[in-house]
Amino acid sequence: MKIFVCVKQVPDTETKIKLKPDASGIDTAGVKWVMNPYDEFAVEEAVKARETGKATSVTVFSVGPKARIVETLRTALAMGADEAVAIDAPEDLDSGTTAKALAAAIKAEGEFGAVFTGKLAIDDNLSAVSQMLAENLAIPHTTVVSKLEFGDQFVAEREVEGGTKEIVQLMKPALIGANKGLNMPRYPSLPGIMKAKKKVIKDLTLDGLGVSAAQAAFKLSGFQLPAEKPPVKMIDGDAGAQAKTLASLLRQEAKVL
């Protein structure tokens, strides 16, 4: 069984974000880029499946500016993936067009048993590409998966609201959206990193896949940075006085009571 994994490159959570002058997006100059954390769980689960004989190979796909996403693909290769495919595309490609490009690239690779993704990307938090990709591939899917069993079918345990769990059975092939807790992603080893540098990454383009960036259904605009947090207030006095002051602040300033 072949497993395909889709990963996205996102800004590091510690990167200082700046907006473009026209507020059409973030200024990418000086941004440190990393693999989307939830996608790390997807790569790890796929590599573990191959190591335990449940899969024959792992191929990783990514959509974005080719000169940049190659770094993240090599990280996946260093973690143990066998092959990688880079789909060159604009930075601001929308979810629907991204899903179409991934679906076309996956179909070109032939039969597969599963597609793994992260449950969402931490940059836009849309949680849309996985479901759209499954629709384009006409396969069942589930996301927010924290436990997965392989067999004739996939048995996935997923988190739902309220802290409860849901068990889902899926026929193969299927798409699985990984959540934190599914596994513990490994750190790329030095030998893995050296081997990854030598591996050839397949290059694809949107035009070559029959997908046009002009087909985008929507475009994000009007970006704003979060408002600055107000300074911390220290409350003096004994416990009783502090409680009264706190209640007053919550009611009059924060307006949460």
135-154, pLDDT tens digit by residue? 999 999 999 999 999 988 99
Structure tokens belonging to residue 23: 């507020």
Q: Where in the chain is the domain with CATH 3.40.50.620?
A: 2-215
Average pLDDT rounded to a whole number, residues 106-120: 95
pLDDT of residue 229: 82
pLDDT band at 256 (very low <50, low <70, confident <90, very high): confident
Q: Is the sign of the CA dihedral 76, 144, 209, 217 positive or negative?
A: negative
What does DSSP say about strands 165-171 and 174-178: parallel, antiparallel, or unpaired? unpaired
Average pLDDT rounded to a whole number, residues 26-37: 89
At the fourth CATH level, which superfamily is domain 2-215?
HUPs (3.40.50.620)
Q: How many other C-beta atoms are found inside a 10 Å radius of the C-beta of residue 168?
A: 17
pTM of the shown model: 0.86
H or E stretch including 142? strand 141-149
163: left (phi over 0), alpha (psi -120 to 50) or beta: left
